[in-house]
Amino acid sequence: MRTNLNIVVTEKDIFNFVFFPDSLSEEKKNLLLSDDSFSEPISFYQNMKAEISKPIDYKTKKLIADKISAYSLPKLVKLIQLKTASPLRKKPSRFAADSEYVLKPKIVTKTFVDEDKDFLVKILQNGNQSKIFVFSTNDEIIENFSILLEPQKLEFHLKDNSEPLIIDGSIDVEAVNIYFNE
């Protein structure tokens, strides 16, 4: 506790100055800003606030869940499709009937990511085959999980994400869910 000109500043006031500045009187705010003796504790709480504001990645959550039995990882991760810019269209070309131009299967890709950006799913459709790649943005192997493709409700179990899931036929996917199995 420090005093200055009949204003008493406690540790809680310094905490509130950083986390809840609207809860302090203008006099206390001005004193905390002008008096250099408060700079070290203010800096401490500002660093604390910056650290707790950072998102926790999946790898760290998994380490916590492994150490603390009361904490468990979410069993479901919902992924949403990333919107990509439309490709520029080329001017239509005309080919002679005897040209060697051959139509190739159209390749379509879709990318899905979760809210925390811990997981990324890439779907590559090439003709009558679809490949689904599942990635961890932390470059780790994901083991024993299932993916559910919406709206068809197609569900597939994967031992790990080291190889893509290959599906015969073209699929229309709007959302992807990942389920972790015990």
pLDDT in tens, 44-54: 999 998 888 87
Least confident of 72-76, 85-89, 105-109: 85-89
Question: pTM of the full predicted structure?
Answer: 0.58
Under 8 Å between Cβ of 176 and 152: no
Cα gap 160→134, rounded to integer Å: 9
% pLDDT > 70, the chain = 83
Under 8 Å between Cβ of 131 and 124: yes
Please enumerate in sequence order all residues whose Cβ is within 8 A of that of 121, keeping only pairs 6 or more positions apart, or say none.
Answer: 79, 111, 112, 113, 132, 133, 134, 135, 147, 176, 178
Stretch 113-135: mean pLDDT, rounded?
A: 88
| Phi, psi of 34, deg, nearest 5 | -90, -25
Under 8 Å between Cβ of 63 and 75: no
What b/e string do you get for 117-127 counting C-beta neighbours within 10 Å, with b at 16 or more? Answer: ebbbbbbbbee
| Phi, psi of 139, deg, nearest 5 | 55, 40
Q: Where are the domains of the chain?
A: 2-53, 75-85+101-180
